[in-house]
Structure 1
Amino acid sequence: MTKSSESPELVVVTGASTGMGAATARELARRGFHVLAGVRREADGKALLADGIEPVILDITNQSHIAALVARIDGDPRQRALRALVNNAGLPCAGPVEVVALDEWRRLFEVNVFGHVALTQALLPALVRSKGRIVNISSLNGKVSMAGYGAYASSKFALEAVSDALRNELAPHGVRVVVVEPGGVKTEMAGLGLTSLSRLSARMTPEQTTRYGALTQALPAHVAAFTEAGVTADIAARTIAKAATDRRPRTRYTIGAMTAFLIRAARFLPDRVLDRMTNSDLRKYYPAGSAVARPA
């Protein structure tokens, strides 16, 4: 992908306030792009402001924010092309399918799926003109779902499906669509999901507590261990930037050795074998002495 130091092409990165998004904005700016970095608050933008990074207030579920971003790109004073859109914004969620409230499911899909679709639809005219690129940040959970992660995984499975359709629809028009699938990454996002999990546990009925109490107690330790074993946001950002800039990109990039292994295993292993693998790992974090139901 070509760029000029005199007139660097534009790249949009959503969810750039912290973590992978902020690291990706910095990495792409370092590579010579002018990054429109989507943030939710003015303070986040000030912390991110640097050469090549222009913070923009962007809630991807807010149509007026999206319209303002389109106007900023279409009215760019230097008439720079939009080279890539990195759909990174997202919400975490943990908890059993039965007890995650429907409003939480809807909010999760509003951000993790519909918000990305809305922004992609709005920016596609500019991306088609430039023969640019869309990079959708999925997850290991976009390919492998397990107990306690159903809602989040569902939203990422949906983003994977949207990406596959877009890749085929846009290939004739010169727009590449790439998926990045991170596993554990050392960011603040995991902690946000656990905050909602503690509220969910407090709302469970006695019957639900009997069914899922041990699981909900295990999830924080499981998430913490997975995150701690993961890569830094800066390492993840280098893979995302590669997906955005490779001349002949792959359709998918994974981040982390365990992620790559599990995604490959999910393609070939029978469902029940994969279930035993994921449940065995999760059971290590169950409270001592708790009864653990085995899958049929």
Structure 2
Amino acid sequence: MSALSKSLRVCFEILNELYTAVGAGVLVIGLTAASLVFAFSRDKQRITANKKKVVIITGCDSGIGFSLAQHAAECGFTVIATFLSLDSKGSKEIKRLYGGYIIQIQLNITDSTSIRNAVQTLEHYLSKNPGYSLHALVNNAGVMVFGEFEWQTEKLIKHQIDVNFLGTLKLTNAFCCLLRHHKGRVITVSSHCALANLPGISIYGATKAALSSWSDGLRVEMAKYGVQILTFIPGSFATESNIMGRQLQNVQEMHDNFTAEQHHFYSDYFKRYNIYLSFITPPSEPQKIQDENLYKVFEGTLLDKYPDAVYKHEPLRYKLYHMLFKYSPVVLRDYFITKFMQMPEYTPNTSTDDDFEDLSCDGN
């Protein structure tokens, strides 16, 4: 009888667990369906752009920032475009095209004084224009160094972290008071690299993944204050921006800081790798990106009354590959990433092992 009772108790516990699991599954499905219905029922609601809504965009010297500043102005917003240098080609071109219609300020997001000056400039502008409000802060400024992790010096790694991640955090923190007061939104430009990091830009990808994670936490924190936090993934425009403008100097720094062992080990591979990259040349003059779908997605970040957490623009090739990256086993994923990047293959140095034994890994 005791054995029977024990068996019945075990059966009851199993049935109870199954019932609980099924119930939880039904609950999750129900909540997900309700969330989707709610999302789709409200996503058509849009606000109207006008001059009293101010949008500040960082990193407008070239590429994405240069293009988004122009498009936001064309939508009808008052745009404050920030430039690392007001003498940059991008700054001069926007001034030629738009005059004072796009307000220009100098901003280095790694410099606390520069950030403070930018906040004070916006505060002064809003006080002189009653009824105007801070609608959006667009965190776009960023840098990228292309090169394998071992090649990148501490200086190059630190610069990417300081600009892409810490600088963005410092700037957003400084604008929090204004964002809360005006119930604005923060739009942070991320990258597909945040979804699947890639060889050659592992540091850059790590900073973008950090930004996406930070945005997830910040979104919940700021929602109760009426501040909306979202991420914008625009796709790859390396050949239409200046994000690789310093690549030659970066390559030289990597090469100059190689140990004797690294020079020996990488040798021809390092040379072929960077010759390949040399064909990815930035434009000689800043130019607005010609991609209607890019701007359509960006408009959603500015105009959707109830914005999504993430807005993503991607060509079909990106969509296909990133789907494969997400759902493939690791071995296949790594293969697809290699095919996606299409970088030169590594071939071992043909020098003798005796030559290598004379070299130390610590550079001596």
The alignment's TM-score, normalised by the length of structure 2, stands at: 0.70
CA distance in 2, matches of 1:219, 1:183: 23
Asked if residue 157 in structure 1 is aligned to residue 209 in structure 2, the reply is yes
User: 1:148 touches 1:216 (CA, 8 Å); kept in 2?
Assistant: no
Which deviates further from its counterpart, 69-78 or 41-50?
41-50
CA spacing shift, 1:216–1:277, aligned 2, 3 Å:
farther
Q: Distance in 2 between matches of 1:121 and 1:13?
A: 15
Does residue 1:203 correspond to 2:257, yes or no?
Answer: yes
Residues 47, 305 of structure 2: 8 Å contact kept: no
CA distance in 1, matches of 2:171, 2:301: 19
Q: How many pairs align?
A: 286
Task: Determine the structure 1 residue equivalent to 2:73.
Answer: 29
> Is residue 126 from structure 1 mapped to residue 178 from structure 2 by the alignment?
yes
CA 1:17–1:225 in structure 2 vs 1: closer, same or farther (change >3 Å)? Answer: closer
The structure with the larger Rg is: 2
How far, CA to CA, are the matches of 2:275 and 2:228 in structure 1?
37
Whole-angstrom CA distance in 1 between matches of 2:54 and 2:314 = 28
The answer for the alignment partner of 1:16 in structure 2 is: 60
Whether 2:332 is the aligned partner of 1:273: answer yes
Paired residue for 1:260? 319
Paired letter, 2:61: S
Return the alpha-carbon distance in structure 1 between the equivalents of residues 73 and 311 of structure 2.
21
Q: 1:190 to 1:182 in 2, by over 3 A?
A: farther
Give the corresponding residue for 1:93. 145
Q: Quick one: which of 235, 243, 247 aligns to 2:301? A: 243
> Could you list the per-position Cα deviations for residues 120-170 of structure 1 after superposition, in whole angstroms to 9, with x for gaps in the alignment?
011111112222111111111112122211111111111111111111211
The more displaced of 20-29 and 125-134 is 125-134
Residue 214 (structure 1) aligns with: 269
Contact 2:325 2:337 (8 Å CA) reproduced: no
3-state DSSP of counterpart to 2:108: coil
**Structure 1: gaps (5+ residues):** none
The C-alpha deviation readout for 1:235-290, integer Å capped at 9, x for no partner, is 245533432222232211222223333443333222222111112344x4426x93
1:63 aligns with 2:112: yes
Contact residue 178 and residue 250 of structure 1 kept, 8 A:
yes
Between 1:31-40 and 1:68-77, the stretch displaced more is 68-77
Alpha-carbon distance change, 238 to 188 in structure 1, aligned in 2, over 3 angstroms? farther
Q: More displaced, 139-148 or 108-117?
A: 139-148
Q: Percent identity?
A: 23
Give the 3-state SS of the residue equivalent to 2:149 in structure 1.
Answer: coil
Shift of 1:224: 4.9
Bigger drift between 126-135 and 12-21 goes to 126-135
CA distance in 2 between counterparts of 1:252 and 1:138 reads 10
| Cα RMSD after superposing both structures | 2.8
TM-score, normalised to structure 1's length? 0.85
Note the C-alpha offset of 1:116.
0.5
User: CA 1:130 to 1:223, structure 2 compared with 1: closer, same or farther past 3 Å?
Assistant: farther
Partners of 1:159 and 1:177 in 2: how far apart? 12
- Whether 2:223 is the aligned partner of 1:171: answer yes
SS of alignment partner, residue 98 of structure 1: helix
Q: Distance in 2 between matches of 1:151 and 1:176?
A: 28
Q: Separation in 2 of the partners of 1:246 and 1:265? A: 30
- Counterpart in the other structure of 2:347: 290
Which structure 2 residue ranges, 5 or more long, are not aligned? 1-45, 350-364
